[in-house]
Amino acid sequence: MRMSVIGCGYLGAVHAAAMASIGHDVIGIDVDEQKVAALEAGTAPFFEPQLPELLAAGIKSGRLRFSTEMADAEGCEVHFLAVGTPQIAGGHAADLRYVDAAVAGLIPYLRAGDVVAGKSTVPVGTATALVSQLADSGATLVWNPEFLREGWAVHDTLTPDRLVVGAEADGAGERAVAVIREVYAEAIAAGTPFLVTDLATAELVKGAANAFLATKISFINAMAELAEASGADVTLLADALGYDTRIGRRYLGAGIGFGGGCLPKDIRAFTARAEELGRGDAVGFLREVDTINLRRRDRAVSLVVDALGGLVFGRRIAVLGAAFKPFSDDIRDSPALDVAVRLRGLGADVIVTDPAAIENAKSAHPQLGYTQSRDEALREADAVVVVTEWDEYRRDLTPEHAGGLVRGRIIVDGRNCLDSDAWRAAGWQYHGMGRR
Ligand code: UDX
């Protein structure tokens, strides 16, 4: 099928490349000339496993092209909206200016019968407002939220847990759903559940899913606080809870909490929209979820300060990790970098390392020290903080090797990803998050 993808950021670039890889003819459109030039040359503008290979293969096959011209969307049967919906400046709501601009720019090139499929995360009610904007074009709007995780974006796009399509309950809506079914025919044939809903439900699913995940993480982090106060171990607690299949072990990883370009902004936008709808009370708990999350960063900082005897001024601290999670170079709302910035604010001599995110971190926080080399970061450190659970730190770094480099054997495991017994046995003072 011929399709356009409007917006070639994280979501759009991956979606475009993934759609080309399953045989569709795709044009990715973005206003950013540099981004388009990079993508046309087969270069991913961000770190994402498998994406470079997919881009190269798509471009080589001739099925994947990129452009800055909206006119190139003309003639496509499906137009995916994949632009960003960041948090507005000075508030919690989502900024819909890019969605509005994409739709306004696309309208002149739509033909009757085209399907416009929204993928961006938007406040419930956005799609219904867009339906009337599209009315004269004869195109049909559906909402097809995306649940991809960074670091797993290609995998999640090609083999999603489920596909959700919201449409209006009329003939045009039914035809549009049939078109979307054809787009994802391969995944559906492989057994991926395909759920057809109304527009509002499809929009709400995405916000609700992120709200649930954020709540699950903050729940276990709240338990970590109780564990700290009572001498219990949150990792063992999570294991024990996780065996209950109604609860499940995933997303019960206690530590310095969630960050990234989605969960934090999405739960805030979700709350803001609920308030607009007069139902702020229904999601009042999400404010607590946010607060618990931010409190864990304070906890990691105070563990370092306490371990160094109450004063970090002038002490050298190796911060292992900058990305908000492994397999990503994304530092948006990264708890890892926040911990580094706070330690630096207390006067520590902070040296940050990360396998992928150093360049992004450097431009956002030039006041921190950086090195690409993990061992260089560890050299002469008075304390070490693990804040992103990359394999390089979690799996490959042994306490013996690290012990030969540092000045002080103090380690704060902000992700509860290390074998505490092994580190203690090697003479380290080990501090986990909610662990004995
Ligand atoms: C998330 C959702 O998972 C995805 O479905 C949605 O489309 C976008 O937002 P992503 O931002 O890529 O995806 O990250 P995710 O893997 O969910 O992790 C989010 C944050 O939570 C990370 O900072 C991670 O370190 C943290 N996290 C995750 C925990 O602190 N504990 C956990 O147990 C799991």
436 residues of the chain, pLDDT tens digit each:
999 999 999 999 999 999 999 999 999 999 999 999 999 999 998 999 999 999 999 999 999 999 999 999 999 999 999 999 999 999 999 999 999 999 999 999 999 999 999 999 999 999 999 999 999 999 999 999 999 999 999 999 999 999 999 999 999 999 999 999 999 999 999 999 999 999 999 999 999 999 999 999 999 999 999 999 999 999 999 999 999 999 999 999 999 999 999 999 999 999 999 999 999 999 999 999 999 999 999 999 999 999 999 999 999 999 999 999 999 999 999 999 999 999 999 999 999 999 999 999 999 999 999 999 999 999 999 999 999 999 999 999 999 999 999 999 999 999 999 999 999 999 999 999 999 8
Q: Give the DSSP per-residue string, 66-82.
A: EES-GGGGTT-SEEEE-
* Residues 183, 119: Cα–Cα separation, whole Å: 14
* Residues 261, 270: Cα–Cα separation, whole Å: 14
Q: Give the DSSP per-residue string, 366-414.
A: TTSEE-S-HHHHHTT-SEEEE-S--HHHHTS--HHHHHTT-SS-EEEET
* Residues 350, 385: Cα–Cα separation, whole Å: 10
- Among protein residues, the one with the nearest Cα to ligand 1's atom 10 is 149
Any idea which architecture 207-290 has in CATH?
Answer: Orthogonal Bundle (1.10)
Q: Which of 120, 158, 160, 166 is nearest to 140 (CA)?
A: 166
- Among protein residues, the one with the nearest Cα to ligand 1's atom 23 is 258
CA of 149 relative to ligand 1 center, distance in Å:
7
- Among protein residues, the one with the nearest Cα to ligand 1's atom 26 is 258
The dotted CATH code for 297-432 is 3.40.50.720
CB distance 263 to ligand 1 below 6 Å: yes
β-pair partners for 247? none
* Residues 348, 361: Cα–Cα separation, whole Å: 18
- Closest ligand 1 atom to residue 153 Cα is 12
CATH class of the domain comprising 2-196: alpha beta
Q: How many other C-beta atoms lie within 10 A of the C-beta of residue 219?
A: 18
What crossing angle do the helices spanning 199-230 and 126-134 adopt, rounded to 10°?
Answer: 160
Kindly report the CA angle at 79 between 78 and 81, in degrees rounded to 5? 145
Q: Tell which phi-psi region holds residue 365, choosing left (phi > 0), alpha (psi between -120 and 50) or beta.
A: beta
**pLDDT for res 199:** 98
**pLDDT for res 436:** 83
- Among protein residues, the one with the nearest Cα to ligand 1's atom 25 is 325
Start-to-end C-alpha separation, the chain: 56
Rg of the chain taking only CA atoms, in angstroms: 23
Task: Give the global pTM.
Answer: 0.96
* Residues 209, 202: Cα–Cα separation, whole Å: 11
**Do the Cβ atoms of 120 and 82 come closer than 8 Å?**
yes
Active site residues: 262
**pLDDT for res 309:** 97
- Closest ligand 1 atom to residue 214 Cα is 21
- Among protein residues, the one with the nearest Cα to ligand 1's atom 34 is 251
Phi, psi of 162 (to 5 degrees): -160, 160
Which residue out of 120, 217, 294, 416 has the highest number of ligand 1 atoms within 8 Å of its CB and is therefore the one to mutate? 217
Which residue ranges make up each domain of the chain?
A: 2-196, 207-290, 297-432
Helix (H) or strand (E) holding 435: none
* Residues 187, 19: Cα–Cα separation, whole Å: 11
CB distance 325 to ligand 1 below 6 Å: yes
- Fold equal for 2-196 and 207-290: no
Which residue out of 150, 263, 387, 433 has the highest number of ligand 1 atoms within 8 Å of its CB and is therefore the one to mutate? 263
Contacts with 64 (C-beta within 8 Å, 6 or more apart), sequence order: 16, 17, 20, 26, 28, 55, 58
Distance set, CA 335 to CA 135, 263, 325 (Å) = 43, 12, 9
**pLDDT for res 122:** 96
